[in-house]
C-alpha cells in the first residue's frame, strides 16, 4: 500500500508538489496522470526515497520512506524517466553490477538475471548496452527495477519514446506483473496509456491532486463538473458555415467541413439548427455525446 500525507516539495520557493494526499491499495495499478511539469517525477522521487519531502510524509506498506530508505529499497522497484546504464557492458553485466547491491549470492543473481532478461525479451542479446535502441533501454530499465522482486513498482513515464510494438509489450508485462500481485504506480502525461492499463487514476496539475477515482468515477465526475458544458456533434450534407455563439467554448471542424464538434456552456442545439436552416445547410445528424475520459482530462485541466 502506498500512502502520502500532505506530501510537499518546494523548489526555489515554488511548490513542485503541493500537499498531496494519496492512498493506493495493494494490488492496484495506479495511473498518475498530468501534463509536463505537474510534479509527477518529484512525487515518485519522494516515494522511492531519493529526495526528501519539504513537508509531509509518505509510506509504503506503513513504513515511512524518509526514515527507512534502506528498508524501502528492498520492497520497491523504480524505473526512472531516463534510465542510465553502462554502455560498454552487456545487459547481463549491467544487471549483475546492480544486483550486487541486494543480498543475493552469485548463483541466485545469475538465475534471477536470466529470468528477467527472458521476461523483458532481452535474453540472447550479446550486444553492449551502448548500442541499444531506446525501447531496449527501457526494457532493461524494467528488468533492473524488478531485480529484487519488488512488492511495489514505480514506473515514471514508461512508454515515452517507445514504438507501438514496445508499448504493446510493455502493457502485457504490466498486466502480468499485476497478476503476480504487485502494486504498480505509473506516471504518464498520455491519457490513453493510463486508461488502458490502470484501474485507478489520479490527475495532478501544478503539484496538486485535482481528481481521483476509477475511470468510471472520473467520467461521472466530469458529467457533474461539466453539467453546463455540452459536447454537440453536428454532421451536415453541405459544408458548414461558421457557427458563433457566446456559449461556445471550442469548435473543431473536420477537414471536409461537414462535421463539427462543439463544446458549449449550454445546450445550443436549437440555435445551431436554426442557424443551419437559415443558411440552407441540411443536417445529417446532430447529437450530444457522453464525455470520454479525454473530455474529463481536458475539463479538469482547464479548471
Ligand X SMILES: Nc1ncnc2c1ncn2[C@@H]1O[C@H](COP(=O)(O)OP(=O)(O)O)[C@@H](O)[C@H]1O
Q: Footprint of ligand X on this chain (CB under 6 A)?
A: 11-12, 16, 34, 36-42
- Residue 36's binding partner among ligand X, Mg ion, none (Cβ under 5 to 8 angstroms by kind) is ligand X
CB of 184 to Mg ion, least distance (A): 17
Instruction: Please report whether residue 159 would count as binding Mg ion according to CB under 5 A.
Output: no
CA pair distance 29, 201, nearest whole angstrom: 9
Tell me the number of residues near Mg ion by CB under 5 A.
Answer: 2
**Could you tell me which residues come within 8 angstroms of residue 124 by beta carbon, excluding any fewer than 6 positions away?**
none
Instruction: Please report whether residue 188 would count as binding Mg ion according to CB under 5 A.
Output: no
- Which one of residues 4, 8, 41, 178 is an interface residue with Mg ion (CB under 5 A)? 41
Closer of 41 and 90 to Mg ion (Cβ)? 41
CB of 207 to Mg ion, least distance (A): 12
303 within 8 A of 225, measured Cβ to Cβ: yes
Closer of 94 and 205 to ligand X (Cβ)? 205
**Could you tell me which residues come within 8 angstroms of residue 201 by beta carbon, excluding any fewer than 6 positions away?**
30, 31, 33, 194, 195, 211, 212, 213, 214, 215, 218
240 within 8 A of 286, measured Cβ to Cβ: no
Closer of 3 and 9 to ligand X (Cβ)? 9
DSSP state at residue 243: -
Q: Write the DSSP assignment of 250-276 as a string of letters.
A: EEEE-TTSSEEEEEESS--HHHHHHHH
Instruction: Please report whether residue 183 would count as binding Mg ion according to CB under 5 A.
Output: no
CA pair distance 116, 47, nearest whole angstrom: 24
Binding segment for Mg ion (CB under 5 A), chosen from 41-49, 113-121, 135-143, 219-227, is 41-49
Q: φ and ψ at 17, to 5 degrees?
A: -130, 130
Instruction: Please report whether residue 230 would count as binding Mg ion according to CB under 5 A.
Output: no
CA pair distance 108, 80, nearest whole angstrom: 25
Closer of 3 and 40 to Mg ion (Cβ)? 40
CB of 21 to ligand X, least distance (A): 17
Closer of 11 and 277 to ligand X (Cβ)? 11
CB of 133 to ligand X, least distance (A): 23
Catalog residues that contact Mg ion under the rule CB under 5 A: 40-41
Amino acid at each position: 500500500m502506498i500512502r502520502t500525507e500532505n506530501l510537499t516539495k518546494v523548489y526555489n520557493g515554488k511548490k513542485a508538489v503541493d500537499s498531496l494526499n494519496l492512498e493506493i491499495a495493494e494490488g492496484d495499478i495506479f495511473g498518475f496522470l498530468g501534463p509536463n511539469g505537474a510534479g509527477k517525477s518529484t512525487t515518485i522521487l519522494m516515494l522511492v526515497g531519493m529526495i526528501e519531502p519539504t513537508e509531509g510524509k509518505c509510506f509504503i506498506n506503513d513504513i515511512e520512506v524518509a526514515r527507512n530508505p534502506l528498508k524501502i529499497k528492498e520492497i520497491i522497484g523504480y524505473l526512472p524517466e531516463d534510465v542510465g546504464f553502462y554502455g560498454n557492458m552487456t545487459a547481463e553485466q549491467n544487471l549483475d553490477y546492480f544486483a550486487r547491491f541486494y543480498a543475493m549470492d552469485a548463483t541466485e543473481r545469475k538465475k534471477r538475471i536470466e529470468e528477467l532478461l527472458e521476461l523483458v525479451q532481452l535474453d540472447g542479446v550479446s550486444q553492449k548496452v551502448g548500442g541499444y535502441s531506446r525501447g531496449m533501454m527501457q526494457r532493461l530499465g524494467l528488468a533492473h527495477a524488478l531485480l529484487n522482486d519488488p512488492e511495489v513498482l514505480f514506473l515514471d513515464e514508461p512508454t515515452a519514446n517507445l514504438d507501438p510494438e514496445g508499448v504493446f509489450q510493455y502493457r502485457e508485462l504490466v498486466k502480468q506483473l499485476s497478476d503476480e500481485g504487485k502494486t504498480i504506480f505509473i506516471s504518464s502525461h498520455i491519457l490513453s496509456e493510463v486508461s488502458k492499463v490502470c484501474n485507478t487514476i489520479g490527475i495532478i496539475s501544478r503539484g496538486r491532486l485535482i481528481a481521483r477515482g476509477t475511470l468510471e468515477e472520473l467520467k461521472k465526475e466530469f458529467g457533474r463538473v461539466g453539467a453546463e458544458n455540452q459536447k454537440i456533434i453536428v454532421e451536415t450534407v453541405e459544408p458548414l458555415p461558421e457557427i458563433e455563439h457566446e456559449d461556445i467554448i471550442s469548435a473543431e471542424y473536420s477537414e471536409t467541413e461537414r462535421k463539427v464538434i462543439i463544446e458549449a456552456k449550454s445546450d445550443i442545439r436549437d440555435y445551431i439548427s436554426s442557424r443551419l436552416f437559415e443558411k440552407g445547410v441540411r443536417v445529417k445528424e446532430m447529437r450530444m455525446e457522453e464525455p470520454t475520459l479525454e473530455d474529463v482530462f481536458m475539463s479538469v485541466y482547464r479548471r
